Chain A
Amino acid sequence: MRAFTRLAAVAAPIDLPNVDTDRIIPARFLRKPKNPEYGRFLFHDVRFNADGSEKPDFVLNRPAYRSAQVVVAAENFGCGSSREMAVWALEAFGIRAVIAPSLGDIFHQNCFKNGLLPVILPVAAAASLRGQLHEIPGASVVVDLEAQTVTAPDGAVHRFDVDPFRKRMLLTGQDEIALTLGHETEIGAFEARHAREMPWLVTD
């Protein structure tokens, strides 16, 4: 997994609350292999017209935001389906961090697994950030995971909480499966005890 440490990049504002993962990547693309074109699936049906041309009003199609590596969203971004492809599509487009007042629980977890940093900021802080990004299209923010801060275009510094376990994994880019396999002894011991205590769960 790619590590995340500190990022200074253009940020794009998305004001709509409850942006669901069907909107982030429609279901018909989920069977597609992860290839260099994967970023095109991102927000496909609200980003492109039926003939494949861009909808000029969509935020990521506007020249100032095309190079965005950060999305600043509203409440409950990434709600709905568990499709990890929503994160893959964001990542393929070049997004490395999503900032919002709240995120769908499964989407939130999926971000951590793909080196993409989810940042939860208070409603007012996220709204202020989006406001500045509208006012100064193409403005940059700084997201610093070590310091746990987001620096807004106006210089305001917003501190955020992040789980220490997830922070360490992201900072080092460590593979979670390898980490877990290091606990083989505990897993084996638990498995044996569990089978004794709840023998009806054994299937054979």
Chain B
Amino acid sequence: MTARPRGTVFEKIWSSHVVTEGPGGHVLLYIDRHLLHEGSTHAWERMARNGSRMRRPDLSFATADHYVLTTPGTPTADAETRKMVESLTRHTTEQGVTFFGVGDDRRGIVHVIGPEQGLTLPGILLVCGDSHTATHGAFGCLAFGVGSTEVEHVMITQTLWQKKPKSLRVTVDGRLGFGVTAKDVILAIIATIGAAGGVGHVIEYAGTVIRAMTMDQRMTVCNMSIEAGARAGMVAPDETTFAYLEGRPFAPKGELWARALAYWKTLPSDLDATFDREVTLDGTEIAPTVTWGTSPQDALPITERVPDPARAADATRRESMERALAYMGLTAGIPLTEITVDRVFIGSCTNSRLDDLRAAAQVVKGKRAVVPAWVVPGSGLIKRAAEAEGLDRVFRDAGFEWREAGCSMCVGMNGETARGGERVASTSNRNFEGRQGQGARTHLVSPAMAAAAAVTGRLTDVRTLRG
């Protein structure tokens, strides 16, 4: 075996995947896992036209999540979306790729099922044609989103040309207060460093708050790295990581597990490793957080008021805030807790895992939703597990819709969107103009805060509900 790489967890993974060095600091990196969804259709079609074959179909895994309806019993909305799902089914069959399709309980959001199946492992390089691929970094692997041309490149060569990004360590120390969750932590981080704060960087999340998190919670944090501009975010693997993975269908077994484990334990950043940038947050100071604008950086503690553009640092920021408030239909100065919502969405690759559903159910139990509210589990298996715990009953009894797995209203590609002007408290990751439907207004929140909004009809400090 070659000498063990040193440095940060990111550097160790990077250097162990270099196939060859190209000009200008570019290296050819080997890809261990390639996850696919219906969005790969364009790449498949180009390959079919050129008669190309996949180099390693055994390292690719596919699922249908973006275009599948989450209405029980109805797979797709129309001919166009059906074609996207059928194309994926056909191409994966032709090329010999494992496919978790409609009717398979293992089907779900690509960033939920990769870890759930044990496909996501520490130390690997994983890519997917989706910007939220950073989610998998929670396991101490390097995972990033790629475009359609890069998807095709991986299919044919199992490699990618990349230039080494810079490193940024975000340390969250202290302890989270009552009612404060992983979603609030990542929203606070994005508000601190900005939507472009991580451009050109890979983030390593560290500190006592991150260490204390479950894998579901770490995935929520890593998931939104791209909302801070970073293509990848990661957490060094530890006992929490290993306990999650042991026994998963595609995780190594027996002697291979022991060998893998010994290697994974060498991955955490060395104590003398240095980062290009460091940012530190005090976890104790983080409150339940909501967004008020149209960028994920527009996030504030729920106890605050809608900010005043007149107090912006410069003219550009002022204009951008004014535009955001106009789109969101909000007036500067009103308390965030006075904002009423028309709809609640609990789901997405950010917040659709069992921990998320439990947190939401705990708030909902014994109460009634006063606005339409959806729960969309991240996978068929999560849906089953939640039902085994009776969570579906808690949601149904409160008037929530309990739906099938998929991306659903986070991005609305399947036709599930909010109406123009509707205000949504959403556990998803993007509050961009039109993201959840033309003219729809999104407030990003944690599952507990979304549940609180559903039972009160307005943005609510979940801590006041539980008291």
Q: Which residues of A contact B (CB under 8 A)?
A: 15-18, 20, 22-23, 26-28, 30-32, 34, 45-46, 74-76, 79-85, 87, 102-106, 109-110, 113-114, 163-168, 176-177, 180-181, 183, 186-187, 190-191, 194, 197-201, 203-204
Pick 20 A–B contacts, CB within 8 A, sort by A. A15-B316, A15-B319, A18-B295, A20-B295, A27-B435, A30-B39, A31-B80, A45-B434, A45-B438, A76-B195, A76-B196, A76-B229, A82-B147, A84-B149, A105-B200, A105-B231, A180-B157, A186-B28, A200-B256, A201-B121
Would A186 and B153 be within 8 Å (CB), given that A75-B196, A80-B226, A102-B196 are in contact?
no
> CB distance A177 to B157 under 8 Å?
yes
Q: Which of B2, B41, B229, B433 has the most CB of A within 10 A?
A: B229
Report the Cα distance A107→B58, complex, angstroms: 28
Would A187 and B157 be within 8 Å (CB), given that A17-B320, A45-B434 are in contact?
yes
Other A-B pairs, 12, CB within 8 Å; known A181-B157, A200-B256: A22-B434, A82-B131, A82-B147, A84-B147, A106-B226, A114-B149, A167-B24, A176-B149, A177-B157, A180-B28, A186-B19, A200-B252
> CB distance A105 to B229 under 8 Å?
yes
Chain B residues near A194: list those with CB within 8 A: 30
> CB distance B146 to A165 under 8 Å?
no
Would A80 and B161 be within 8 Å (CB), given that A163-B25, A198-B123 are in contact?
no
Interface residues of B in 282-339 (CB under 8 A from A): 295, 297, 316, 319-320, 323
Q: Which of A46, A79, A200 contacts B259 (CB 8 A)?
A: A200
> CB distance A30 to B149 under 8 Å?
no
Residue of B with least CB distance to A196: B1
Q: Which of A32, A79, A102, A197 has the most CB of B within 10 A?
A: A79
B150 CB within 8 Å of chain A: yes
> CB distance B157 to A22 under 8 Å?
no
Chain A residues near B323: list those with CB within 8 A: 16
Chain A residues near B80: list those with CB within 8 A: 31-32
Residue pairs across A and B with CB atoms within 8 Å: the count is 177
Q: Which of B83, B163, B199, B257 contacts A104 (CB 8 A)?
A: B199
B145 CB within 8 Å of chain A: yes
> CB distance A106 to B131 under 8 Å?
yes
> CB distance A82 to B19 under 8 Å?
no
> CB distance B26 to A198 under 8 Å?
no
Report the Cα distance A131→B240, complex, angstroms: 53
Chain B residues near A191: list those with CB within 8 A: 30, 158
CB 8 Å contact bits of B409-452 with A (1 = contact, 0 = none): 00111000000000000000010111100100000000000000
B378 CB within 8 Å of chain A: no
> CB distance A203 to B30 under 8 Å?
no
Report the Cα distance A132→B31, complex, angstroms: 45
B22 CB within 8 Å of chain A: yes
Report the Cα distance A201→B123, complex, angstroms: 10
Residue of A with least CB distance to B228: A79
Chain A residues near B64: list those with CB within 8 A: none
Report the Cα distance A31→B430, complex, angstroms: 20
Would A76 and B199 be within 8 Å (CB), given that A16-B320, A163-B26, A200-B257 are in contact?
yes
